[in-house]
Amino acid sequence: MAAPNILIIDARFYEDIADALLEGATDVLEGAGARYTRISVPGVLEIPAALAMALAAMENGTADYDGFVLLGCVIRGETSHYDIVANESARAVMELVIDAALPLGNAILTVENREQAMVRADKTQKNKGGSAAQAALDMIKVRDELGV
C-alpha cells in the first residue's frame, strides 16, 4: 500500500500556535511515512471553505488526498465572536466530513486563553496537532477496512 497523502489545512490567525500544531502534526505524519501538502488560510472560519475546495479539486482530478488534518485556534474574547467562529466552523467541517466520508483529524482548538492554547499545541505537552494527524491516519485505516 502506498504512503497516505494528507492535506494539512492550517489557520494562521495565531501564528505561533499554528506553528506548534503543525510541528506536532508533521512529526507524526513523517514518522508514519505519510506524504503531506500544507495549505494555509487566514483563520478558522476559512478552514471549511478550503476543505470544500480540496474536495472539489479531488472531484475534478487535480488533487488526490487520502485524508485531512485541520489545525487552528479560537481563543475566547470579550464578545460573542468566539461562539460564532467555533460553532460555525465546527458545523461546516462536520457536514463536509459526514457528507463525503472523509478521514480527518481535527485540531481546531477552542480555548479560554493563550496559555491553554500553547499547552494543547506544544508537542512536548498535549500535542493536539500530533493527535489530529494520528486520527487522520487511523480513519484512513477505518475507511479502507470498510471498503469505502
23 inside domain: no
Pairing of strands 67-75, 104-111: parallel
Identify whether 81 is a catalytic site residue. yes
62 inside domain: yes
Catalytic residue among 3, 30, 35, 81: 81
Percent with pLDDT over 70 in the chain: 99
70 inside domain: yes
Is 51 labelled a binding residue? no
96 inside domain: yes
pLDDT tens across the length of the chain (148 residues): 689 999 999 999 999 999 999 999 999 999 999 999 999 999 999 999 999 999 999 999 999 999 999 999 999 988 889 999 999 999 999 999 999 999 999 999 999 999 999 999 999 999 999 999 999 999 999 999 999 8
Distances in Å between the alpha carbon of 93 and those of 2, 77, 147? 27, 22, 23
User: In the prediction, which pLDDT does 1 show?
Assistant: 65
pTM exceeds 0.85, yes or no: yes
101 inside domain: yes
Is 106 labelled a binding residue? yes
25 inside domain: no
Is 87 labelled a binding residue? no
27 inside domain: no
Q: How many domains does the chain have?
A: 1
